[in-house]
Structure 1
Amino acid sequence: MEAKATLNYTRISPRKVGLVLDLIRNKPVDLAAAILENTPKAACEDLGKLLKSAVSNAENNLQMDKGSLYVSKCYVTPGPILKRIRPKDHGRAHRILKRTSHITIVVAEKE
């Protein structure tokens, strides 16, 4: 049995989120939460909330034991890109790409 939580349209680049997800993949839930609390990355706050939501889904909806949960899968996919214009010299304009992410965390019980 698996419980999952998703966070869509987050205003952070998928590349930045992927670095943090690599740190918590296949780790026990309590260790993953500790890693997210002590890592100085921008994505850690959102990922901590998402991990907490996945654990709550497992406990309340599927009656899983919190002590035996681990992060079985976690991945990020790119969302829509917000295109903005930055004024430059001599009347030119450069495009700024503001990237978004769809993040998914799946927790499962150790067997």
Structure 2
Amino acid sequence: MEAKAVAKFQRVSPRKTRLVARNVQGLGVEEAMNMLRFTHNKPAGVLYGVLKSALANASQLGGVNVDAMIVKEVVVNEGPVWKRFMPRAQGRAGKIRKSTSHVTVILAEGQE
């Protein structure tokens, strides 16, 4: 059995989010949640929320042992980019790109 949760349009960089997601993939749910809870950066908080949602989705399935679930896959895709401009010296403008991410967490039953 698999459970899945998706968070779209999250205001975190996909590149930074993938660094945190790589550490969690393949771990047991409890261990992954502890690791994310004590990692002090914004992508860890986003991944923690998505993992918690996937766990809640898994508990709604019938006959699934939630304690034995593992993080099968974490996919971080790029979302749309917000384009902004910052005034610079001598009348110029600097481009600022605020990136967003789509985060998908897939949990599966199995042993760690």
Q: Could you state the TM-score of these two structures normalised by the residue count of structure 1?
A: 0.95
Give matches, 1:23-62, under 5 Å. Answer: 23-62=23-62
Report the secondary structure of 1:43's partner residue. helix
Alpha-carbon separation, structure 2, partners of 1:96 and 1:90: 18
Structure 1 runs, 4 residues or longer, greater than 4 Å off = none
Q: Distance in 2 between matches of 1:108 and 1:26?
A: 10
How many residues are paired up? 111
Structure 2: which amino acid aligns with 1:84?
A: R
Deviation digits for residues 9-37 of structure 1, max 9, x if unmatched?
00110011101101100000000000001
CA RMSD of aligned residues (A): 1.0
For 1:23 and 1:98, the matched residues in 2 are separated by: 24
Partner of 1:68: 68
Segment drifting more, 97-106 vs 47-56: 47-56
Which consecutive residues of structure 1, in runs of 5 or more, have no partner in the other structure? none
Name the % identity: 37
Query: Unpaired segments of 5 or more residues in structure 2?
Result: none
| TM norm structure 2 | 0.95
Query: In 2, are the aligned partners of 1:36 and 1:45 still within 8 Å (CA)?
Result: yes
